[in-house]
Amino acid sequence: MSKDNRWTTYDAKQLEDLHALAEDYKKFLTIAKTEREAVTEVTKRIEKAGYRNLETIVKNGETLKAGDKVYAVWMKKTMAIFTIGEEKLEKGIRILGAHIDSPRLDLKQVPLYEDTEMAFLDTHYYGGVKKYQWTTIPLAIHGVIAKKDGSVTEVRIGEDAEDPIFCVTDLLIHLSKDQMAKKLGEAIEGENLDLLIGSRPMVFGEESKDADKKDPVKQQVLSILKEKYDIEEDDFLSAELEVVPAGAARDLGFDRSMIGSYGHDDRVCAFTSLDAFLRVDSPRYTACCLLTDKEEIGSVGATGAQSRFFENTVAELLACCGQFSELALRRTLASSRMLSSDVSAAFDPLYAAAYEKRNSAYFGHGIVYNKYTGARGKSGSNDANAEYFAWVRRVMDDAGVAFQTAELGRVDVGGGGTIAYISALYGMNVVDAGVAVLNMHAPMEVVSKSDVYEARNAYVAFLKAEQ
């Protein structure tokens, strides 16, 4: 357990490795702002490293052996990556499980409207957000539009210098007397988190009918969408369009010791898990990097951790290794060990009353282990087995990895959860392990580069552990 700030311990080589990792992470954050984009970027990286699609292997009737590298993707929004180990799968899999969705604004299915010569897109916020944080900041639109003919158009507007940006408006301070008197959580209503996208009316020709001249600003927007993306208004019905903060991940602080960006929760753990996973070529136990969707809304749906995707994929893996039976599947899952790679709350001295100092996470002190999360009386948490965490401690200490333990704030102040309790349903040992984050769930979150580095090293140690 690290008592000292880790920055004071690094030699020149470690600092060089740390900064290289941070630069790669910033690129990843900037590219992968949605779960689909994360899956696409991860797939590029793992295929370059020699990983093959499990679906192709199954279709071809191929078998797998120790050292083989495979991956599976479901609905382009969740994935599992495996390196087959020397031991039989029944001895258990070493799993790094993170999620790749983040709080955001989603467009409604019928989003486009005009009001008082302004065009807006109606949104529904996704995950736990402070709604006031999403007003008056530069926003971008990312996602896909699926059309009836089966074609899918990718959308990414607001990131390039020549792109327009968008915003959610707020009431000017001069007229905000009543708004300012409201509670913070009520000052901005969810139904008012609509995206301003246009104000220029279409100019109609003399031959146009009066009915065609309705909502001219909306019509102008539709004409642009038709010209640029060949989409009609009804195509919004089958779209997945997410509104996210515009702009790249950046160094934060005069000392450049931190990274400020949207999406650290939980792409900081997804990225470090992947980077660690790709550094372990010949594991004793089969290694897995599991990246899931929908964690911010309860891990529900076909791409959330509560789905059967992971279980089904392990069954396919067993079959390709010539080891499948229903009992073997159950034994494999129960024998597995997992780090639920998710972020924790970093201590913020400006809001010290929300934390209990002895059981808080601090920047620069390494990866954070949360033995339990949940709310109030640990409700909704996975409370990790003491013997398992003793094993984790030994692995970290033997590898010289800095780690700390924490709770998510003071008792009864709040709480939160991860995917840990879902994997624990199989009987496997699971503990939460991730990076401390300031401003969690805000449009710009902050992490320490040192903690990113230590998390990556912790994940490598976990996957390489011999026992």
Looking at 1.10.3720.10, 3.30.930.10, 3.40.630.10, 3.40.50.300, the CATH number of the domain 6-102+262-464 comes to 3.40.630.10
Query: Which residue ranges in the chain fall short of pLDDT 70?
Result: 1-2, 206-212
Q: How far apart are the first and last CA of the chain?
A: 21
Sketch the domain layout of the chain as residue ranges: 6-102+262-464, 104-245
Query: What CATH number was assigned to the domain covering residues 104-245?
Result: 2.30.250.10
Identify which of 434, 420, 130, 417 has the alpha carbon closest to the alpha carbon of residue 298. 417
Q: How much is the pLDDT for 409?
A: 87
What local confidence, expressed as pLDDT, does residue 350 receive?
Answer: 97
pLDDT at 206: 67
User: Are the beta carbons of 76 and 39 closer than 8 angstroms?
Assistant: yes
d(CA 368, CA 405): 5
> CA 199 to CA 193: how far, in whole Å?
17
Q: Which residue has the tokens 């913070």?
A: 184
Largest CA distance in the chain: 80
Alpha helical stretches, state H, 32-74: 35-48, 54-59
3-class state of residue 93 by DSSP: coil
What pLDDT score was predicted for residue 375? 82
pLDDT of residue 205: 73
Residue whose structure tokens are 């033997």? 398
- pLDDT for residue 467: 75
